[in-house]
A and B are shown apart, each in its own frame.
Chain A
Amino acid sequence: MRKFNLLDGLVVPLDRRNVDTDAIIPKQFLKSIKRSGFGPNLFDDWRYLDQGEPGMDNSSRPLNPDFVLNFSRYKGAEVLLTRSNFGCGSSREHAPWALEDYGIRSIIASSYADIFYNNCFKNGILPVILKENEINRLFVETLEIEHYRLKIDLSEQTISLPDGDHLKFEIDTFKKKCLLEGLDDIGQTLKHKNKIRDYETHRQQLKPWLFLS
């Protein structure tokens, strides 16, 4: 898994609550059997004026000039600033895959849907949780200041603002460790192979009906 430690990234503000996974990556793109290539279709319905289908040449599609990702000042953004309950809806990991493929390395919001939040960590994306008033401040500053960048330090759990201010954020110890070290989850779990086997054997004796087929 990709490591995350320090990021100094341009911020793009997406001023909406409850952005759902259908909006992040519409279902027609879920037919792919690959993990990559979803970036051009991130926020497809909002980003383009025509109806997107898999296999289209996205570079020649008409862009929606009113959608924030299409503003030239946010080109190359690596930090997505948004609002509460981001990533609600389906479990599709295609959502973080699309964000990652587009170049987003960190998201800042006041809350996330549970499954989406977990999925981010599996893909080297850091979802930061800040308080509503801090989010409001970042929205104001992002709009006011061109090329607004934030420095996100995972090991210190801080975000440095251009004016030198710092914001602290909380994160679960285990998730932090996995992201900092880029640990492979499966490899980690398989270290406990014997424990799993023992549990399984015991369970099979106790509740054999769970092992019928």
Chain B
Amino acid sequence: MAGKTLYDKLWEDHLVHQEDGASLIYIDRHLVHEVTSPQAFEGLHIAGRKPWRVASILAVPDHNVPTVADTQISDPISRLQIETLDKNCQHFGINEFGMHDIRQGIVHVIGPEQGATLPGMTVVCGDSHTSTHGAFGALAFGIGTSEVEHVLATQCLLQHKSRNMRISVSGSLQPGVTPKDVVLAIIGEIGTAGGTGYAIEFAGRVFESMSIEGRMTVCNMAIEAGARSGMVAVDDKTIDYFEGRPFAPTGTLWKDAVKEWKKLYSDEDAVFDLEITLPGEQITPLITWGTSPEMVVPVTGKIPDPETMPEDKRESALNALSYMDLDPETVVSDITVDKIFIGSCTNSRIEDLRDAAAVVKGRKVADNIMLALVVPGSGLVKRQAEQEGLDKIFIDAGFEWRNPGCSMCLAMNDDRLEPGERCASTSNRNFEGRQGAGGRTHLVSPATAAATAIAGYFTSANLLSTRLH
């Protein structure tokens, strides 16, 4: 018999019951935020039900929160949504990091930061980027609001097992190439539907040498490749990362947990339904040019010509170029930018901020940039960055240093693009209107966003230094 994949192991460990091909899967950790939970709580109230295991739930407001210090939420509808979360958490006794808690932040940043999401867990949240938590050998995926209610009421979910895919990135990365570029390269390769129906394991030398935060960036965007979950096997780095985190076990429990976590990898003879390999050396700093995350080109490249594309891609490409107001064959570094956004659950952790700050240090944001935002992923990331003096570097360069939240990743608060504005963004979605109606989003790494802020046009950190020397 063939060995098991990491996904097989996680799945079997959580299987409660099977019926008609559907499986009842036990959920260890349920993360909750304000946007996708009110209707689920309302459903519980109406049916007279209670959460099955309150201690499994951790709640935080993030999508709607303002990122400017000491402001009240001006939009009454946003305010009501956050107050509704507060009220529901109070009512059921759910642990919530409220808006003014130092631990507040983007749900996918605070979970691992607190050790509230751990290796071997099933982690769900009413948010598609829950795939982030697969970075440390957890089975993590986004769910809809009906499923949020289902998990609240039963601690379980009805699921169908996905197929297994392994994406290996071999060799090593060139200097200046970051995890964001790796995941953009992967999505560019397999497309936004390439992972549909699969659980993706990211493997190979590049992932072995990647930090846990870098792995989170990659797993975060597994959903952008169509996969509900992405994961990386546990190694020593994973275990080091969790030691001492507030919700992590201690003492003998820690030792027992580590013993179990060390089993979280794919057996050597495990069979994957699909295997894809990319050579790490060939990945360069990338940027999206269109309205789908699969539309990527190197920062040193040109906007592609739809006429040269296969027929099934041509029309989407033409639509995208028209929305983005770009012509085929335009050199990417000839495109000027209006706004910069460094943040989101993809790229707002301390390593991301360090990467960006290293590029920005001692330089000034270009005059044509109207707004350059840095939005840390959590209050604790923000504090850490301030202790390292990163805030000063950003502020001196002309960036705004904000409070944590989703912010301009989806523009549910006041941070947004105006129609026609072009943004270099470290977030994960470049859909039409995502960052504000009519706004034009180019997805990049923190280093590229920082370099672009300084240059005023798209450029990578490497190119920026050659220009200045």
Could you tell me if A174 and B256 are in contact, using CB atoms closer than 8 angstroms? Answer: no
| Neighbour of B77 across the interface among A18, A55, A122, A175, CB < 8 A | A55
In the complex, which residues 180-212 of chain A have their Cβ closer than 8 Å to any Cβ of chain B? 185-186, 188-190, 192, 195-196, 199-200, 203, 207-212
Q: Are B142 and A195 in contact (CB under 8 A)?
A: no
Given A31-B78, A192-B16 in contact, is the A115-B84 Cβ separation under 8 Å? no
The total number of A-B Cβ pairs within 8 Å is 192
A203, B143: Cβ atoms under 8 Å?
no
A93 touches B36 (CB 8 A): yes
Residue numbers in A under 8 Å from B247 (CB-CB): 212-213
Q: Once bound together, how far apart are the Cα atoms of A186 and B40, in whole Å?
A: 12
The interface size of chain B toward A, counting residues with CB under 8 Å, comes to 79
Cβ-defined partner of A32 (8 Å) among B17, B77, B193: B77
A84-B193, A186-B153, A200-B26 known; A92 and B36 CB under 8 Å? yes
A194 CB, nearest partner CB in chain B, Å: 10
Indicate whether B135 reaches chain A with its CB closer than 8 angstroms.
no
Please name all residues of chain B whose beta carbon is closer than 8 Å to the beta carbon of A60 when the two chains form the complex: none
**Chain A CB within 8 A of B347 CB:** no
Which of A118, A200, A212 meets B144, CB within 8 Å? Answer: A118
CB distance from B170 to the nearest CB of A (A): 28
**Contact pattern, B 159-186, Cβ under 8 Å of A = 1, otherwise 0:** 0100000000000000000000000000
* Residue contact B146 to A33, C-beta cutoff 8 Å: no
A113 and B150 contact, CB distance less than 8 A: no
Partner of A33, one of B39, B150, B419: B39
Evaluate contact between A18 and B192: CB separation under 8 angstroms. yes
Contact B226 A91 (CB under 8 A): no
Cβ-neighbour of B19 out of A16, A89, A92, A174 (below 8 A): A174
Please tell me if the beta carbons of B128 and A115 are within 8 angstroms of each other in the complex.
yes
Residues from chain B with a CB closer than 8 A to the CB of A113 are: 193, 196, 226
CB of A111 within 8 Å of the partner chain = yes
Cβ contact within 8 Å between B257 and A91: no
B412 touches A20 (CB 8 A): no
Residues of B within 8 A of A84 (CB): 193
Task: Tell me the residues in window 9-61 of chain A with beta carbons closer than 8 Å to chain B beta carbons.
Answer: 16-18, 20, 22-23, 26-28, 30-35, 45, 51, 54-55
Residue of A nearest to B412 (CB): A27
Contact in complex: A45, B80 (CB < 8 Å): no
- Closest CB-CB distance, A92 to chain B, in whole Å? 7
Q: Given that A30-B35, A91-B127, A91-B142 are contacting pairs, would A210 and B160 also be in contact in the complex, using a CB cutoff of 8 Å?
A: no
CB proximity of A68 to chain B, nearest CB, Å: 14
B374 interface contact, C-beta 8 A: no
A82 located at the interface, meaning its Cβ lies under 8 Å from any Cβ of chain B in the complex: no
Residue A85 lies at the interface, judged by CB distance under 8 Å to chain B: yes
Q: A85-B192, A189-B154, A192-B17 are in contact. Are A209 and B249 (CB under 8 A)?
A: yes
Give every chain B residue within 8 A of A26 (Cβ-Cβ). 433, 437
Residue A154, interface by CB 8 Å:
no
Q: Would A22 and B431 count as touching, CB distance under 8 A?
A: yes
Tell me the nearest residue of chain B to A120, going by C-beta.
Answer: B144
Q: Which of A31, A45, A115 contacts B143 (CB 8 A)?
A: A115
The reply to whether A17 and B312 form a contact with Cβ atoms under 8 Å apart is yes
Interface centre among B118, B145, B319 (most CB of A within 10 A): B145
Q: Restricting to A50-82, which residues have a CB under 8 Å from any CB of B?
A: 51, 54-55
Contacts of A203 in B (CB 8 A): 26
Nearest A residue to B124 by beta-carbon distance?
A91
Cα distance, A17 to B144, chains bound together (Å): 22
Closest CB in chain A relative to B56 CB, distance in Å: 8
A196 with B16: CB separation less than 8 A? yes
Q: Which of B22, B84, B249, B412 makes the CB contact (< 8 A) with A174?
A: B22
Q: Do A31 and B64 form a contact, CB below 8 Å, given A113-B226, A200-B155?
A: yes
B55→A213 contact, CB < 8 A: yes
The verdict on B411 contacting chain A, using a C-beta distance below 8 Å, is: yes
Are B260 and A31 in contact, with the CB atoms below 8 A?
A: no
Cα–Cα, bound, A188→B226 (Å): 29
Cα A35 to Cα B45 in complex, Å, equals: 14
A133 within 8 A of B: no
Q: What is the distance, in angstroms, from B440's C-beta to the closest C-beta of chain A?
A: 14
Tell whether A151 is near chain B: CB-to-CB under 8 Å: no
Contact A31 B75 (CB under 8 A): yes
The answer on a CB contact under 8 Å between B192 and A88 is yes
- The reply to whether the CB of B197 lies closer than 8 angstroms to some CB of chain A is yes
B158 within 8 A of A: yes
Contact of B149 among A23, A112, A186 (CB under 8 A): A186
Q: Report the 5 A-B pairs with minimum CB-CB distance, sorted nearest first.
A: A209-B249, A122-B146, A33-B38, A93-B144, A119-B144
Can you sample 8 A-B contacts with CB below 8 Å?
A23-B431, A91-B144, A114-B196, A123-B146, A174-B21, A190-B154, A195-B24, A213-B95
**New A-B contacts (15) at CB < 8 Å, excluding given A91-B128, A186-B149, A189-B24:** A17-B316, A31-B75, A85-B226, A89-B431, A90-B128, A93-B145, A111-B193, A115-B144, A122-B147, A172-B21, A175-B22, A189-B154, A189-B156, A196-B16, A200-B155
